[in-house]
Amino acid sequence: MSGESCRHAPAADTATTAAASSGGPEIDVNGDESPVRCPYCDRPFRRARLESLHRGLEHPERLSDRERAAVERAVRDERAELRRVRIYALGVLVALYFGLLIIAAFVV
């Protein structure tokens, strides 16, 4: 095997090349769906929820009442998801602590 074959980059598909040539960030989405784009700055996002959060943070003065409600719903969903992750992490830490405590009790 020659050393030159490792130097060649794989061919990029046209969607990735177009995003890279336009100067915007590359977004990899599943299947044939196109990324959701911010109507104000044209930034791509994988999910509509992420785009709503972006609009609430970066363009709050330009939001209509309907968009503001979508942002509030996305923030509420995000907080609930973060709360679940924190509770799960706390449970793992407590289980790890008591597991190590029991192991230390048997070893000592």
12-42 pLDDT tens trace: 444 443 444 455 556 666 666 778 898 889 8
Structural domain includes residue 2: no
Structural domain includes residue 48: yes
Selection from 27-31, 62-66, 92-96 with the highest mean pLDDT: 92-96
Structural domain includes residue 87: no
Structure tokens at 73: 């719903």
Structural domain includes residue 102: no
CA distance 32 to 12: 16
Structural domain includes residue 68: yes
Structural domain includes residue 50: yes
Which residues have C-beta within 8 Å of that of residue 90, sequence separation ≥ 6? none
Beta strands in the chain (DSSP E): 36-37, 44-45
Q: Residue 59: which domain range?
A: 18-82
Residue 6 has pLDDT above 70, yes or no: no
CA distance 24 to 48: 18
Q: What's the pTM?
A: 0.59
Q: Would you tell me how many other CB atoms lie within 10 Å of the CB of residue 106? A: 6
Structural domain includes residue 7: no
Structural domain includes residue 62: yes
How many domains is the chain built from?
Answer: 1
Percent above pLDDT 70 for the chain: 70
